[in-house]
Structure 1
């Protein structure tokens, strides 16, 4: 996989915000790796499936077993993209520029950490953690409730 065909400078702050806000749609991947990035095109699939799971919960209620699988996909995808935003934001300028701006000097401004980068890291940490914990809690709650219902059926 090539990084990009363009020689445009990739800004660390922009990449962190794109990973946090538009990560489930693959926007950060397209920004960094170009339009031919396979993972960028695959990221919207679990996102769309998770949104479909939320629609099923709203339509059929929380007892819909198919939604138990689909809803966490959205949460895990969002949490993974929030983690990617944190990793981008915490990357050193030298490592960022060596990886995404090889034509620039290692201390180029595009790799510098700014206040906007720090805000992206903080929001991604807070919201990404909350979404991840909510997804795990939803999944386990529904799973254990299902196990209890099945045990009741067996015992009757």
Structure 2
């Protein structure tokens, strides 16, 4: 029996590593195996900023990958948390009755949804702002080079 509350928390906390996908769909889920790739690239982008500074062009392209992955996993936590028990049990607990306990919403589920909404939207906006800021600063630098 797949528990909706556990899946929402797993998506929020371990989503960028694909843990929620493995919990719900098994170790053969190919998207679960692909999720760590943008996460690792984003972490590599953060490491490049630490090594080369914020003017590194590759880092401003890589860091948003981490942010978008985290935000997408937070969105999945919200979707899981707000799914009706009937739909949850039909999708992930097919042999269980429609109103089985693992598909029900409780306060821990609502807590996961609230935190996913807060952190997901914050990280998404920060990623968008960071990438646009770096892009426009790069464009200004290139324009200055051309004008000289």
Shift of 1:99: 0.3
- Correspondence list, 1:7-156, <5 A: 9-156=1-148
Give CA deviations for 1:52-85 in whole Å, capped at 9, x if unaligned.
0000001111000000111000000000000000
Other structure's SS at 1:107 match: coil
State how far apart, in whole Å, the 2-side matches of 1:89 and 1:62 are: 37
CA deviation after TM superposition for structure 1 residue 49, in Å? 0.5
Cα shift at 1:25: 0.2
TM-score computed with the length of structure 1 as normaliser:
0.94
Larger helix proportion of the pair: 2
Runs of 4+ in 1 over 4 A off after TM superposition: none
TM superposition shift of 1:139: 0.1
Aligned-pair Cα RMSD in Å: 0.4
Structure-2-length-normalised TM-score: 0.99
- Count matched residues: 148
1:6 counterpart residue number: none
